[in-house]
Amino acid sequence: MATATKPAPRPPAAPARRLGYPLALAALAVVVVLAWGVFRGGTDEGPDEVPDGATQNGWEGITDSDDPRLVSFPWVTGQVLDGDVAVVLGHVAERFNAEVEPIDVASSWGWAYRPVRGHDEGLSNHASGTAVDFNAPLHPLGSSGTFTDDQVARLRAILDEVAPVLAWGGDFDRPDEMHLEIVGTPDEVAEVAARLSGA
């Protein structure tokens, strides 16, 4: 009579899959999104994709201060993009000077072909002549609360008047309260400029 043999033992069951891997992927995705926000200078405005040679807001970077697209701007030491951008920024500067605080031209500037401060890549909106900094020593990069509540309220009234084409650096993740930049498309900026000009 044949003897019964015991079946071979089964290998131990694989441990239940843990949620660690999916959670790690989710954490990595969050880090990438946050890093992208910092790379862009902290603003939540602007196009999703920026073409080569363009600034963060999608406008074409200008490499030479003698470029005929740039125009002298009386409110800063330097230039801004001519046309509708100059109209909008000029209106904003006039109101800022009269209602928020007097602009010191010697410590205010516009066009500069450079990356975003603190980054090696990504052109600043200053490089397209679509950003200005007013009274930089009074409102240093990274500092918040450099304006009084009353000044902020007046500044927000100016932003509302030219909405949706202008952003204030005080609203960025990394505060830049001296900074104002165009965030609208050329068509949107043209529409606001026409409204401001009474056209």
pLDDT band at 116 (very low <50, low <70, confident <90, very high): confident
Q: What percent of the residues of the chain are helix, what percent strand, and what percent coil, each to the nearest 5?
A: 40, 10, 50
pLDDT tens track for 142-178: 999 999 999 999 999 999 999 999 999 999 999 999 9
Question: What backbone phi and psi angles, to 5 degrees, belong to 104?
Answer: -95, 105
Q: How long a stretch of residues is the chain?
A: 199
Per the listing, tokens 């401060």 go with 117
Q: Going by CATH, does the domain composed of 54-197 fall within 2.60.40?
A: no
Token pair of 123 as six digits? 């052109």
More reliable by pLDDT, 14 or 147: 147
Q: How far apart are CA 39 and CA 173, in angstroms?
A: 11
User: For residue 186, what are the contacts with CB-CB under 8 A and spacing of at least 6?
Assistant: 59, 84
Answer yes or no: pTM beyond 0.85: no
Say yes or no to pLDDT of 47 above 60: no
Pairing of strands 166-168, 79-81: unpaired
User: For residue 181, what are the contacts with CB-CB under 8 A and spacing of at least 6?
Assistant: 43, 45, 57, 125, 130, 131, 132, 166, 167, 169
Q: CB 100: neighbour CB atoms within 10 A?
A: 21
